[in-house]
Structure formats: structure tokens, C-alpha cells
Structure 1
Amino acid sequence: MYSMDFSGIGSFESCLDDFPGTFVNPSSPMFHGVNWSNGFSNGNPRFDFEATSNVGNPSNIVITMAMTEHGSELLQELLSLKDSRISNRIFNMVFEFIFELMIHQFGRYFFQKLIESVDENRLQMIMEKLTVPENHIYHASLHKYGNFSVKKLITTLKRSPLITYVIKAFSNKFEKLMTDPTGRYMIMECLEVLDSRTNDLLYVRAMERCLELSRHEQGVVSMNACIARIKGPRRDQLLDWICYNVRFLAQDPTGNYVVQYVIGLNNPGINDQIFSLLDGLYVKLSMAKTGSHLVEQCLRLSGMNRVINEFLASNRLVFVAKDRYGNYVIQTALKESKKRNGRIHASLIMKLEEHLGCLRHGYGRNIRTLIQSL
């Protein structure tokens, strides 16, 4: 067994000087018998290995070290020495494989330590490697390990002009990231960690792709999360855009959830616009699965009078009351109006009592029972 002790920087540098920059797969036969350890000699990191005749020049295994649990820990300890000669030489050896390290189970920890240890020029080299010509940072964002590396990159660069590399890369793949259950967290990380000026390009993309995302099963979740995090004037612009398209979104089974979310923010000005723009749709929405939830939400807020007045003016009230979804809307209308507006409540009761005979069966029985108990 041989032991390599890096307590002397010179010996480690000479090892790195000989590194040819060729990646060696950890499963390669040349590493059979290798024994990694993460020990310390007088406070300095070292590693031990057996069968050096199989391994050859130990400098060739630095990339492979980064992709093993103990090897990654050892390299992190070397970076922790905060010696620029060591960190720069390690950087030069691993640079060509930076993306592979980002998405590796153990390599990602070394990557995260590396970007903390190198200077701005080398960080720029990393960002150029990850974004040009291929958008590697996008692919890493979708990866179960890579997304942790990207998150660390965002927090590391948040006060650096280099963060624009991330923003531009994300804006080019905005819709795909927002519709991916893993990728969307990278957009949210930017919106939470970075200031509104830095995020402006992402804000613009959110407005541009709002309708498409709102109609996507994953995208609608991301869109609501995005609305919650957008700051400044762009937030008002996005809400105005949603209001402008509210009739379209309200009638879409998925887009409906965006309208519900915005109403739930309880912004009086926005809600008044939405309730007004939905006039003429309340009866129709009440008999749709997601639409009925939206109408119930309107009833619980300042849209109650508008909704009930539409019910009273409609010749389809009995159909709403007998509908599998609509009956819950009418129940909510009766309960809310009783608490908040006796006059409109009495008018609704009177209108429904005209059809009690039709409410003896099916879902209508729920309305008949409730009227009798009020």
C-alpha cells in the first residue's frame, strides 16, 4: 500500500502538472483494487491506494476521485485550504468535465465547492462552458442531482454580472423549464434570490408565455408560483394581462386555477375587474368541475351580488341547482347571502322555491334540504 500525503504543496503541484486532462471512467479495470480513504495526516488531507501498478500516474485519477464519495470529499478539503495554486490547478484539470461533475451524485458536491473557490475569470469560463454552444445549464436544471448544482450556482453568482448567463439561458428555455416538475424550481430560485432588475427577462417571458403555461398541467402550478414571486411594475402588468384574458382562462379546465389564484390574492381592484369581466359566464361556469370552484370563490368574496343577480335573471337556475357541480355553488350562494345580504338571500330562496318539485331527486335534493333548514 502506498500513501500520498499532500501536506507539501509542491508534491501535489507536481502531481497535477503531469495530468493529461483525459477522463477515466470509475468502472475502468485500471482502478480495480483502488482503496479510497478520506484521512488526515497532521491536519492535511491525503488519500491511500493499493495496486499502484494498475493505476499508473496518480494524477490521472483526479476526475475519477471527484466522482467517488471519499475522493470528492478529499478534493473539497484541498479546495478548503484556499490556496489559489491548488484550486487553479484542480480547476484546469476538471474544467472539460464540469457538466459531468454537476450532474454526478458525488461530483456535484465537488463542483459546488469549486465554484466557491475560483476567481471571477474562471467562473466566467465555467458559465461560457455551460451555456455556449449547448445549454448545459438547462439540462442540469432538469437532472435530479444537477439542479442542486444549478441552485448553488445561482446563489454564488447572485451579486455578480455573470448571473446574466443563467438568466439568458433560462429565458431561452423558459416554457420547458416551467413545465418540468424539477426544472421549474430553478426559475423559482431565481425569482426568490435575485432582484427584480436581474429577473426582468424572466418576468417578460412569464407574460409572453402566460396563456400557454396556464393551460398546461405542470405549467399552471409554475405560473401561480411565478405570480407569487414577481415584484415591481411587472407584477401589475402580469395581473392586468391575466384580467384581459380572464374569460378565456376561466373557461379552460387548467387555466381556471390561475384565475382562482389571482382572486385569492384579494386585490380589490383586480378582483373588481375580474368579477365584472366574468358577467354572463357564472351560470355556465357553475356547471363545470373547475369553474364551479371559481364561482364559489367569487361568492365568498366581493363578487357575491354579481353572481347571485345573474342566477336570479337566468332561466337556468334550476339546472344549476340539479347539477352535480352546480348544486354546491347554489348551496354556497344560499349560505353566503344569508350571512351578508338578507334581501338578495330572500330573492334567491323565492326563486328556488318555484322549482321545489323539480328538486326532489338527484343533486337537487341537497338544495331542497338546505332551504328547509335555513
Structure 2
Amino acid sequence: MEQRNNRYQFQSAPFEASVRHLNQRHLRPQTSSQNSCHDIIESLFSRLSVSHHNGQPSFPASYGDLFVGSALDHPSVGGQPISFQGMGQNLQNNGVNACLSMGLHDYVSYPDMLGSNIDFWDSFIPDVNGLLRADSSGFSNGSINGYLLPKSQNSVRSSLYNKRPHRLQESSNYLPLENLRGRILRFAKDQNGCRLLQSILGSVTQEGIDMVFLEVIDYVGELMLDPFGNYVVQKLVEVCSEEQRTQILLTVTKSEFQLVRICLNMHGTRAVQKLLERITSQQQVSVVMSALSLGAVALAKDMNGQHVIKHCLEHFSDENNKYLLNVVADNCFEIATDKSGCCILQQCVEFSKGEARDRLVAEITANALLLAEDGYGNYVVQHLLGLKVPQITANLLRQLEGSYAALACNKYGSNVVEKCLFESREEQSTQIIWELLGSPNASMLLVDSFGNYVIQSALLVSKVV
């Protein structure tokens, strides 16, 4: 290597050993294609320069700018600064891609640097333009112009390998949106690509927004469910026009239950909530509520879906929520006995007003006895008692009358009886106590694992009386 015009003047022993190692590995007869490949490799290595600064290894303090289309200013390997300037352009212009498949990794593997191998071959993957870019697991998040950047493999190496850059810094300056035409959907589903699109959408003109919108509108439902694509949809919803927002709504409600299925997804529910935040016209609200009402029960019983219902209750009018609340009331028992459903049912009671609320309360009251003995339903009954509305309390007490002794011995019902004692008026609590004392099994309440707490609460109320 050193006899060929002294192209490689390495000043460090590790690099000399590495080059010698490469020579020994490839001392075999070479074909014309291999000679061509060697010439290209030599051309690449001719652009490498290694130097010491005052005899000390150089470590860049930061490399936040060492990516996305620019030559490396101060990178180092094994503490030795290396210049990669122009290397990426050389790769594009000299057809090295063909050589890569022939074993370029055999030539750019540096053994025993700081006690381990650095294999640059594994650090590069083809980008969406068919060029080579650094793998996202390396210290670079990729090169849009085709520059090759190494991947970190050892935490004890210099800070160049141990730190990660702030991704997508000034991304839109390096890659105009026009260059992504026809690739928007693919970028939206990529971890780095979705961040790039969000960055671009934050500062692009209306023309650029229209371009992105046209490429994703037919796939917006699919993107809402994607771990990365949903963020692009959320950003697009923020910047698009009212008309485009309406078109997104119509797309995700085109088929029955499509919007409901999106709401049930952990990624989709975020995108839908962002969409609901931005809708303003009555037409948009009507489209959404008609679609959600079809799956109100499924949404109420789902951990992700319940957030969408809660958002509607908090931000839409009683008139808009009327159909949704009617479906919830019709399926009150099923929803109240579900872990997630019992929570959202309490929210429905809390936020509803007028006729919709009266119907909801009436349905809960009608099922109060069964709900009081349920592990989740008892919380709904207690919530109604906690409202301290005299008429609601009186109706509930009347529904439970004659069953207080049995409920007192139930794990969940005993909590309801105690709530009745504390939240009712004096004459009402007195009536409950007389019913407990007049029960044939009154003496058993004292030794029952749940009934004894009811008796203690009755004594507290009696003292107050």
C-alpha cells in the first residue's frame, strides 16, 4: 500500500496494522472486475487523511451538525481525526454500489481498533432515493445526499460515537418538499421520515400542504393507525384548510365503523382526538357524532375509545351528544359492569344535562340493585348518591329498599349501603338502620367480614342523629 505513490501516509500504528491486515487478506489472483474494484477502493482511501494534533487524539466536542448532506468537519475513529470530504460524491459518481455487492465490507472492516472491530458495511442501508445512508441505529440519522456515515458499536470510543444528534435539524433546508413528491406515504410510516414531514409541514406554504394532503388523503385511515404515520396526520390536521379537514372526516367515515375501529387503536385515538379539536362547523360535528354513536358501547368499554367519548362530552354541546348518550343509556348495564365502562358512564352523568341526563340516571336507577353487587357497577351507584340530588337519592333508596341486609353481606354491596347511610337524610338513614336491625340475620352482620363495617357506619350515623 505504501509503495503506490505513497497514497496512504498513516501516522498511527493501529491504522498501519489495519492496512497491512487488509493486504494480507487479499493477496490472491485478481480478475479484471476485481482490479477495477481495487482501483475504486484506492480512490476512496486516497481521500482519507489521519493526523495528530500535538500528539493527542482529537475528539469533537459536539457533532450535532455532522449529518444530512454535509462533509464531516472533525470526525475521528479511534481518536484519530479523519476527513471524509467528498467521499459521498465519489461513491455516487464512480459506481461503487456495484462493488458493495462484491464485498466492499471486506475492505472497510478495521480489525482490533480499541479492542474491537468497526464494520462500516453494516452501517449503511439504501435510502428512499436508492442511495446509501447511515443506519438509524448509528450516530447519524442518515444522509440525504448520499454521504457515508459510520455506526457506533462501542460505548468506550470517542464522544462522536457515544452521542446522538438532534435529528432533523433544519431538515427542510436540506431536503425541499418537492423532492419527496411520490414518497410522502413511505416517509410518513418511517420513524425519521415522519419527523421530517412534521418539521416541513410546520413551515411550508399552502401549496406544499396541498401536495402532502393529496398524497395521503386516500390512506389517512391507514396512517392514523400507524405508530409514526399518526403524528403526520395530527400535524396535517393542524395546518390544513377547513375544506381539507372535512374531506379527512368523510374519508375516515366512508365505511361503517371505520372511525370506531380507529378510535379503539392506541395510535388512532390520538389522531382522532386531534381531529376533534380542530373541527368547527356543525356539518363536521354531525358527521363525527353519527359515526361514533354506532359504536358507543365498544368505545365506552375500551381503554382507548373512552377518551374519544370523554372529548365529545367536554367539547360538544348537549344537542350534539344527545344521540351518543341515548345509546349509552340503552346499554347502561353492560357499560356500567365493565372496567372502563363504569368510568365513562360516570363521566356521562357528570357532563350531561336536561333530558339526556334524566334518561341516563333513570336507567342506572332501574338497575341499581344488580349494579350494587357488581365489582364495577357499585361505583356507578355510589356516584349517583354522591351527587347529593335529593330526588336521585330518594329514587335509589326506594330501589334498594328491602335488600339492605343482603347487600351488607356482599363485598361490593356493603360499600353501597354505607354510602346510603352517609349521603341520605336523617329519616332515610334511620329507616335503613331499622331494616338492618329487623333482619332475621341481624346478629350475623356483627361477625360478617363485610357486614360488620356496615354496622360500624350505622353506629356513627346513629350518634350523629
TM-score bin (small chain): 0.7 to 0.9
Structure 2 Cα separation of the partners of residues 83 and 28 of structure 1: 24
Shift of 1:79: 2.9
Q: Is the counterpart of residue 310 in structure 1 residue 435 in structure 2?
A: yes
Name 2:174's counterpart in structure 1: 46
* Structure with the higher fraction of residues in helix conformation: 1
Q: Is the 8 A contact 2:69 2:143 kept in 1?
A: no
Give the whole-Å Cα distance in 2 for the aligned partners of 1:39 and 1:254. 49
Within a 5 Å distance, the mapping from 1:233-252 to structure 2 comes to: 233-252=355-374
2:152 alignment counterpart? none
| Equivalences for residues 49-198 of structure 1 within 5 A | 58-81=180-203, 83-198=205-320
Structure 2 length-normalised TM:
0.61
Counterpart for residue 340 of structure 2: 218
**Residue in structure 2 matching 1:35, options 143, 147, 150:** 143
1:321 CA drift (Å): 1.5
Partner of 1:333: 458
Q: In the alignment, which residue of structure 2 is the partner of 1:263?
A: 385
1:213-266 C-alpha deviation (Å, 9 max, x unpaired): 122233222212222222333112211232233233334443222111111111
Please list the CA deviations of residues 53-87 of structure 1 after superposition, one character each: whole Å capped at 9, or x if unmatched: xxxx8533222222334433333343334632221
Tell me the amino acid that sits aligned with residue 143 of structure 2: N
SS in 2 for 1:319: helix
TM-score w.r.t. length of structure 1: 0.75
Letter in 1 for 2:214: N
Specify whether residues 58 and 127 from structure 1 end up closer, same or farther in structure 2 by C-alpha distance, changes over 3 A only: closer
Deviations 1:289-336 (A, max 9, x none): 000000111111224212101023222210122211101111111122
Looking at structure 2, the residues matched to 241 and 305 of structure 1 have their Cα atoms a distance apart, in angstroms, of 27
Identity of paired residues, percent?
30
Give the superposition deviation at 1:283.
0.5
Contact 2:386 2:423 in 1 (8 A): no
Separation (CA, whole Å) in 1 of partners of 2:240 and 2:335: 38
Larger gyration radius, structure 1 or structure 2: 2
Once the two structures are TM-superposed, the CA of residue 89 in structure 1 deviates from its matched residue by 1.6
Between the two proteins, the alignment pairs up a number of residues equal to: 309
What do the CA deviations read for 1:132-177 (whole angstroms, capped 9, x no partner)?
A: 1253322221222221111101111144421222212211111111
Please point out which of 302, 313, 321 is paired with 1:199.
321
Q: Match of 2:448?
A: 323
What CA deviation, in whole Å up to 9, does each residue of 1:181-238 have, x standing for no partner? 1111111111111111111111111111112212223322221222222233311221
Structure with higher RCO (Cα < 8 A, 6+ apart): 1
- What value does the CA root-mean-square deviation take over the aligned residues? 2.7
Q: 1:232 to 1:82 in 2, by over 3 A?
A: farther
Q: Distance in 1 between matches of 2:335 and 2:132?
A: 50
Quick one: structure 1 residues 217 and 72, their matched pair in 2 at CA, closer, same or farther if it must change by over 3 Å?
Answer: closer
| 5+ residue gaps, structure 1 | 5-25, 49-56, 342-374
SS at match of 2:449: coil
